[in-house]
A and B are shown apart, each in its own frame.
Chain A
Amino acid sequence: MKILVAVKRVIDYNVQIRVKEDNTGVVTDNVKMSTNPPDDNAIEEAVKIKDAGKATEVVAVSIGEEKAQETVRKALAVGADRGILVKTDGIIEPLAVSKLLQKIVEKEKPDLVFMGKQAIDDDCNQTGQMLSALLNWPQATFASKIEIKDGKLEVTREIDEGLETIEINVPAIVTCDLRLNEPRYASLPNIMKAKKKPIEQLNASDLGVDITPRIEQVKVEEPPKRKAGIKVSSVAELVQKLKNEAKVI
């Protein structure tokens, strides 16, 4: 079985986001970038399945600017066998990403495609489901547990009401929740080894997909700030404030 894992380069989850003064976006210059956190879970799961002898190859793919190569390289350092970088410039919407991934899937013919359930930059939560639709494959979104059984996958999904279990035929798409596993850290020897693993570079324009944005980003602003609160010195004062000032209890 072959697993393709899609990884995205995003602003690190610990960075305090700043909106650009001209309201065209958020500041990315000299800001720490990392792999989108649930994409780390996706890579981890693929590598675990390979370690268990149930997959033969793990291929990491990223779509983005030249520097997204670092994100692919990190996936290689934690156990992916080879990488693919599809180079694009500027904003690329989930619909375009899923169309590019469809091209990669047609070429690579994986049995499974894993990715994070949501990217923490645009918070869209779309790409996996869109790719499933384009391929007409089953989708298991928000996965917190994956079991491989007789060529099928039994996936536990995190939903608003609790947990849901579905069984899907391969080939399939799985989007991963942060609780799926505990991503490993890359060891130094593995980081060195990853430098020798191949990364194929492609240009999005060569894949015959129209990736022109369909959504105009009119402006990006700071959210309204909360007015500063106060510290209370005791529980009694807190309850009195909630009762008489805020009038919420």
Chain B
Amino acid sequence: MSVLLIAEHNNKQLKPFTLNASTAASQIDNDVHAIIIGHNCDEAAKALSELPLIKKVIQVEATHYENFVAENFAPVIVKLAENYSHIISSANTFGKNLMPRIAAALDTSQISDIIKVIAPDTFLRPIYAGNAFATVKSKDAKKCVTIRPTSFDPCESSGGSAPIVKADPGEEFAKTKFIKREEVKSDRPELGTARVVVSGGRGMQSGDNFKLITSLADKLNAAIGASRAAVDAGYISNDHQVGQTGKVVVPDLYIAVGISGAIQHLAGMKESKVIVAINKDGEAPIFSVADYGLEADLFEAVPQFLEELNKLNTIQK
């Protein structure tokens, strides 16, 4: 039976992790169908149909789908589920919010946040903030799986031409009402997909000092991350948090500045290819995962870092 992928989008564009989820879905079964639920989302549906891995797109439109309320989305997917062996989505806040609502309605024990497809019923997933890896095998007839996007490569985004079929919308769930969304707009690369991430922690001491992180990120064309401590202290907004309950990032280069390296933070970044830690406490746990550790006062080291970068002829973008 085919696999149903739930596309994530903003009604205009696909969210990039839909490409990673498509890759994961295709590793379970070749026949991947994708469902896109939204309002005036033709453009995003078209983009979805162009992913070569997708064999069929199901588009469901209604005004009450404009803001991705899980209570509205879940019944649409549950209704289509009988034709599919697996329902797949990304394990980001969109998929985390939605998938368990589908799984419970289907009486399926969901498998969250997989990092590897071992067999169509067997998956690898981190537990205990990534301090252990569990191999789990689902005995349910139908499987609901969320995938960790950074553990799967994004698929090709063009070349395909899957048919787009429309399906009927469901009723609106009247007891939940969307009010507003406050998105921080930025020209920087997205934290989840950036090649370089520069993160600040409690050691930054203030929100104002975060401009050191910003300057370094500007220079390296990097996304900005933060530890939970820095977000809790109000230095920077929650969408920058990296860790067990924040975002998981796997950049080529992760620079941790003034971050001690609690296991909850390491859970979100220790798969990065190259890790740099700058911290004045030589015993800080962050050094245990750092490829290059610099024991120094960040208020001296970061400006020097900028100077040294200025001396280079070229910097990779």
Contact = CB atoms under 8 A, between A and B. Distances in A.
Nearest to B231: A179
Contact of B180 (A165, A238, A248): A165
A60 B131 CA distance: 29
B138 interface: yes
Contacts of A132: 71, 101
A160 B156 CA distance: 24
A202 interface: no
A93 B237 contact: no
Contacts of B102: 133
Interface string A203-231: 00000000001111111111100100111
B93 A168 contact: no
Contacts of A160: 92-94, 192, 239, 247
Nearest to A26: B132
A178 B228 contact: yes
Contacts of A236: 304, 308
Interface in B280-317: 282, 287, 289-296, 301, 304-305, 308-309, 312, 315-316
B224 to A, nearest CB: 14
Interface in B111-144: 111-113, 122, 126-140
Interface stretch (B27-35, B42-50, B170-178, B200-208): B170-178
A249 B253 contact: yes
B128 A168 contact: no
B293 A230 contact: yes
B contact face: mostly helix, strand, loop, or mixed: mixed
Contacts of B176: 138-139, 166-169
Nearest to A172: B175
Nearest to B275: A229
Contacts of B218: none
Interface in A76-124: 93-96, 98, 117-118, 120-124
Contacts of B110: 94-95, 124, 126, 130
Q: Which of B110, B112, B304 has the most CB of A within 10 A?
A: B110
A138 B196 contact: no
B71 to A, nearest CB: 6
Interface stretch (B18-26, B52-60, B80-88, B181-189): B181-189
Interface string B231-265: 11000011100001101000011000000000110
A95 B294 contact: no
A238 to B, nearest CB: 5
A52 to B, nearest CB: 22
A188 interface: no
A185 interface: no
Given A162-B239, A239-B305, A125 B112 contact: yes
A179 B246 CA distance: 12
Interface stretch (A11-19, A42-50, A61-69, A189-197): A11-19
A75 to B, nearest CB: 21
B215 interface: no
Contact of B177 (A11, A166, A226): A166
B108 interface: yes
A137 B105 CA distance: 13
A179 B232 contact: yes
A166 B69 contact: yes
A17 B132 contact: yes
B276 interface: yes
A126 to B, nearest CB: 4
A215 B293 contact: no
Closest 5 CB pairs of A and B: A129-B100, A130-B104, A214-B109, A17-B131, A133-B104
Given A95-B104, A164-B182, A246-B291, 6 more contacts: A26-B131, A120-B244, A161-B239, A216-B136, A219-B135, A223-B133
